[in-house]
Amino acid sequence: MNERFVEPEQLDHLPADHPEAVRSRRDLRIINAMLGTRRWLEKRIPVGAAVLELGAGDGSMCRGSSWTGLDLAPRPIDLPQACSWVQGDMFDASNWPKVGVIVANLFLHHFNEDQLQWLGQQIRRSCGLFLACEPRRHPLPMASGALLATLCDFSPVTWNDMMISIRAGFRGAELADALGFNSGFRVSETLLGSYRLEVHL
């Protein structure tokens, strides 16, 4: 697992209301809870800051009127009214509102080096704080992920995408380098498989 290996994931090619997509998004909520993602984000986001979440999925991280979710998928039906939603492609800069904080969760590993370079430039123009939680590319999360998938009866889509995601995940300063951040960043990696990047711009 020395090199990143980026492959298409099944969830990205299923209609948002497909039963396996619905089940897989439920599984993602379990994974996020196990990884402690919300707690890590909430500790770092200043109260009241305007936040843009890239690839917001089912919107389960979105909190209140200061949040905007951006995703190819339509606005989730159970998203709180107060949250804003942009349905569109992240690679279209006109879809990005100007905010204080940009968040990406289990999203950036989908992209190759050229795409991440474009994204880094766009992030630098758009916010003062960038927070990312991605899969850690390591054999340990492969094993703990398989155990969790068995215990929680994950969908075959989640099983497939989880292994692909870990192989496409990050280590060390890889994500900061790919985004073009040379300083002002901190990386942490957890035993359960979260790779976290915090960048002050």
> Restricting to residues 52-111, which ones interact with ligand SAM according to CB under 6 A?
55-58, 70-73, 89-91, 105-107, 110
Binding-residue pattern over the window 10 to 49 for ligand SAM, x denoting contact by CB under 6 A = -xx---------------x---x-----------------
When the beta carbons of 31 and 176 are compared against ligand SAM, the nearer one is: 31
When the beta carbons of 33 and 184 are compared against ligand SAM, the nearer one is: 33
Spell out the residues 6+ positions from residue 180 whose beta carbon is closer than 8 angstroms to its own. 117, 120, 121, 124
Segment 185-191 long-range contacts (CB within 8 Å, at least 24 positions apart): 189/136, 189/138, 190/35, 190/36, 190/136, 191/140, 191/144
SS3 182: coil
Instruction: Quickly tell me which residue has 């159970």 as its tokens.
Output: 78
When the beta carbons of 44 and 184 are compared against ligand SAM, the nearer one is: 44
When the beta carbons of 2 and 6 are compared against ligand SAM, the nearer one is: 6
Per the CB < 8 A criterion, the answer to whether 74 and 25 are in contact is: no
Per the CB < 8 A criterion, the answer to whether 192 and 144 are in contact is: yes
Binding-residue pattern over the window 143 to 172 for ligand SAM, x denoting contact by CB under 6 A = ------------------------------
Task: Summarize as ranges the residues that interact with ligand SAM (CB under 6 A).
Answer: 11-12, 28, 32, 55-58, 70-73, 89-91, 105-107, 110
